[in-house]
Amino acid sequence: MNADLRRLLWAFSGLALLTSGCSNELGPSTTSVLPTPPEVLAPEGPRAEQVAASEDVEKAGTPEETQKPDATDKKPNQPRETDQENPKPAEASVLLKTAASALLTTLQPDTPVAIMTTSIKDFQDRISHNKPGIKYTVVDGWATYCPPCKENFPHLVEMHKKFADKGLRVISVSFDDAESPDDIKKALAFLNEKKAAFENYVFSDGMAETYEFFDVNAIPAVFVYGADGKEVKRFTLDDPDNQFTYDEVEEYLKGLLAGKAK
């Protein structure tokens, strides 16, 4: 009874260690929490090792368990697999794995995406407040009525895949009519189809106001903001002699996140 209770307590403290490094805002698309690094999730991670090591101590101290051949062979830093041959202690490994798989599910790109209606003012607030680790935010303006926008949208998804773990927050802003349920439905369907597993917004202020806020005549357009929410670069179609390409955006972000001044 004592040994079981102690193992349970260790399992819980292991869980506490696991969740303390994450933001408490888990959820698709409205979080800028970085994916949990694989070594934290995997059974052979350091925390699992910690639990395994403690169990060794427990086993050694319990007369009935010293008889088990596995216990005596085990060294403190053995991978988790060895432990799994021995059904005890089941509680620790099950709890740890359940927690790990729960996190993974919410952060998987296959989860349905969302689009949020927000005011411009609120949006400005949001991009001015970033979690530690976020260096820059990229915002892509698109709309369901803009074929070139839709054709190029995968570039944003690609940038999210490539740069999210390098400190880039990725956001899409739809220049659709927030008051048209049909258009929002279409927008969401598109975002789902493209697997836009990041923040997606549409402004309640209106379409014209959206163009005014970003100060562009045409979309697509891409904007880069610093961690303080101030614009550092824009890529637009507004100069006929200098219309941007997504390759340029990616090159720019690569350099920016690598710390090269531009």
Q: With respect to another protein, which residue has the nearer C-beta, 209 or 228?
A: 209
Q: With respect to another protein, which residue has the nearer C-beta, 1 or 208?
A: 208
Phi, psi (deg, nearest 5) at residue 146: -115, 95
How far from chain centre, in Å, is Cα 76? 33
Stretch that binds another protein, among 47-55, 111-119, 181-189, 235-243 (CB under 8 A): 235-243
**Interaction between residue 110 and another protein (CB under 8 A):** no
- Kindly state the number of chain residues that form the binding site for another protein, as judged by CB under 8 A: 15
Q: Which residue has the tokens 């794995």?
A: 97
**Interaction between residue 247 and another protein (CB under 8 A):** no
Q: With respect to another protein, which residue has the nearer C-beta, 58 or 176?
A: 176
Contact string (CB under 8 A) for another protein, positions 119-158, x = contact: --------------------------xx-x----------
Query: Among 165, 238, 248, 251, which residue interacts with another protein (rule: CB under 8 A)?
Result: 238
Q: With respect to another protein, which residue has the nearer C-beta, 163 or 190?
A: 190
Query: Among 25, 39, 125, 212, which residue interacts with another protein (rule: CB under 8 A)?
Result: 212
Name residues whose C-beta falls within 8 Å of residue 133's C-beta, 6 or more positions apart in sequence. Answer: 34, 167
**Interaction between residue 187 and another protein (CB under 8 A):** no
Cβ burial 23-45 (10 Å sphere, 16+ → b, else e)? eeeeebbebbbbebeeebbebeb
Interior angle at CA 120, CA 117 and CA 121, nearest 5 = 120
Least separation in angstroms between CB 241 and another protein: 6
**Interaction between residue 239 and another protein (CB under 8 A):** yes
Stretch that binds another protein, among 16-24, 27-35, 90-98, 214-222 (CB under 8 A): 214-222
Q: How many CA atoms lie within 13 A of 5 on its CB side?
A: 2
Contacts for 10-16 with beta carbons within 8 Å, 24 or more apart?
10/51, 10/54, 10/55, 10/92, 11/51, 11/89, 11/91, 11/92, 11/95, 11/96, 12/95, 14/47, 14/48, 14/50, 14/51, 14/92, 14/95, 14/96, 15/95, 15/96, 15/99
C-alpha span between 32 and 131 (Å, rounded):
7
**Interaction between residue 171 and another protein (CB under 8 A):** no
**Interaction between residue 211 and another protein (CB under 8 A):** yes
Stretch that binds another protein, among 60-68, 125-133, 182-190, 216-224 (CB under 8 A): 216-224
**Interaction between residue 218 and another protein (CB under 8 A):** yes
Q: Strand 221-226 vs strand 231-235: parallel, antiparallel, or unpaired?
A: antiparallel
Given the rule CB under 8 A, which residues bind another protein? 145-146, 148, 208, 211-212, 217-219, 237-241, 243
